[in-house]
């Protein structure tokens, strides 16, 4: 299997296009739809790059695989679905995430049964993208619906496990759990062979180092800054919880989540032909009309 990475520096996101060089069967992991929050404008530069590469290589993109409902970028899944007749897949527990954020954004018309997606992936099942067999590993913690996709000796971990000098994903979003993430990484991913190749969902390039998108289970077990093979559950939960308290909310949190829980679809146009995003104001600190705390 061949793998091509695509990097979006605006959101530090890594998208992957993987394919069988003999059959040209392919899938994409975590595609990006560009979004400028200042002008509230979308663009397709990032996803066009993926599509152009796939067309040049003559690939059949069977699936767009979402590792979770991202909180830092809009998904480009619908672009690929429309142009390649791909099926959009996400973890089956997305319904839990939908129920939480349906209330946050007051999305009365949002179906919260996962029906916007073409397939809800369950732990332990196998998806077949032509000649490629994709195993689904539930890896909750960052969100309840996080999954890792495994093909042979390769895994795509999304926000569960990063390059070892950045650690793991945060767990302070609604229904996130540091305890669950420890189980996902330490007990599940670290049970895989040390030579397993790990392709991560983001690279924040700590200390200004060059971009990396791949590590191994063995290297992670040895030197991941948040959880090594010898890190106890209590140590990880305390470390992850303390770090999460100091993190700012993702810059594109509100636009991303409400689009991504609807399978990457933009909000429906209103009577005037325009689309609108819902942005809650003072979510954790309700205010009076004049801006003072209630």
Spatial separation of the C-alpha atoms in residues 114 and 143, rounded to whole Å: 15
Sheet holding 32-36, edge to edge: 41-43, 32-36, 74-75
pLDDT(77) > 90: yes
Q: What is the mean pLDDT of the chain?
A: 96
Span 39-66, pLDDT tens digits: 999 999 999 999 999 999 999 999 999 9
Distance CA 73, CA 240 (A): 22
Range 9-12, long-range pairs (CB < 8 A, 24+ positions): 10/34, 10/73, 11/72, 11/73, 11/202, 11/252, 12/72, 12/202, 12/203, 12/204, 12/205
pLDDT for 285 equals 85
Residue 99 pLDDT: 96
At residue 284, the pLDDT reads: 82
User: What does DSSP assign to residue 78?
Assistant: H
Work out the pLDDT band at 213, boundaries 50, 70, 90.
very high
Q: Give residue for tokens 């429906």.
A: 268
pLDDT at residue 294 greater than cutoff 90: no
Kindly state the DSSP code that residue 247 receives in the 8-state scheme. Answer: P
Report yes or no on whether pTM surpasses 0.85: yes
**Using one digit for the tens of pLDDT, what is the confidence trace for 104-124?**
999 999 999 999 999 999 999
User: Which pLDDT score is estimated for 200?
Assistant: 98
Asked whether residue 283 carries a pLDDT value surpassing 90, the answer given is: no
Are 176 and 184 in contact by the 8 Å Cβ rule? The answer is no
What pLDDT score does 18 carry?
A: 98
DSSP state of 6: E
Report pLDDT for 190.
98
CATH superfamily, with its number, for domain 2-260 = Ribonuclease Z/Hydroxyacylglutathione hydrolase-like (3.60.15.10)
What is the percent of the chain where pLDDT is above 90?
94
| Helices (H) then strands (E): counts for the chain | 7, 15
Q: What is the mean pLDDT of residues 3-20?
A: 98
Among residues 23, 48, 49, 65, the alpha carbon closest in space to that of 264 is found at: 65
pLDDT, tens digit (0-9, with 9 covering 90-100), for 154-205: 999 999 999 999 999 999 998 999 999 999 999 999 999 999 999 999 999 9
* H or E segment and range at residue 220: helix 217-223
Examine the pLDDT at 230 and tell me if it is beyond 90. yes
Beta strands in 59-173 (DSSP E): 60-65, 74-75, 87-91, 119-121, 126-129, 132-138, 147-151, 154-158
> 291 vs 251, 278, 279, 285, 286, CA distance in Å?
22, 19, 16, 10, 9
How large a percentage of the chain has pLDDT more than 70? 100
User: Does residue 19 carry a pLDDT above 90?
Assistant: yes
């Amino acid at each position: 299997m061949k793998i091509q990475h695509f990097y979006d520096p605006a959101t530090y996101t890594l998208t992957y296009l993987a394919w069988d060089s003999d059959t040209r069967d392919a899938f994409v992991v975590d595609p990006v739809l560009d979004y400028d929050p200042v002008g509230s404008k979308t663009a397709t530069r990032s996803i066009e790059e993926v599509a152009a590469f796939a067309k040049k290589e003559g690939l059949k993109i069977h699936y767009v695989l979402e590792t979770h409902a991202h909180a830092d970028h809009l998904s480009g899944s619908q672009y690929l679905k429309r142009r390649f007749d791909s099926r959009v897949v996400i973890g089956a527990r997305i319904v839990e995430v939908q129920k939480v954020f349906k209330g946050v954004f007051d999305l009365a018309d949002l179906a919260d049964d996962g029906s916007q997606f073409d397939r809800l992936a369950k732990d332990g099942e196998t998806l077949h993208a032509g000649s490629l067999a994709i195993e689904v590993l539930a890896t909750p913690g960052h969100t309840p619906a996080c999954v890792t996709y495994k093909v042979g000796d390769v895994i795509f971990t999304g926000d569960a496990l990063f390059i070892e000098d950045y650690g793991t994903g945060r767990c302070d979003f609604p229904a996130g759990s540091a305890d669950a993430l420890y189980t996902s990484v330490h007990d599940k991913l670290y049970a895989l062979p040390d030579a397993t190749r790990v392709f991560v969902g983001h690279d924040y390039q700590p200390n200004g180092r060059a971009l990396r998108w791949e590590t191994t289970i063995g290297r992670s077990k040895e030197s991941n800054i948040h959880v090594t093979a010898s890190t106890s559950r209590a140590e990880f939960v305390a470390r992850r919880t303390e770090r999460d308290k100091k993190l700012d909310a993702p810059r594109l949190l509100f636009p991303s989540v409400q689009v991504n829980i609807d399978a990457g679809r933009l909000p429906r146009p209103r009577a005037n032909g325009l689309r609108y995003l819902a942005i809650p104001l003072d979510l954790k600190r309700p205010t009076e009309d004049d801006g003072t705390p209630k």
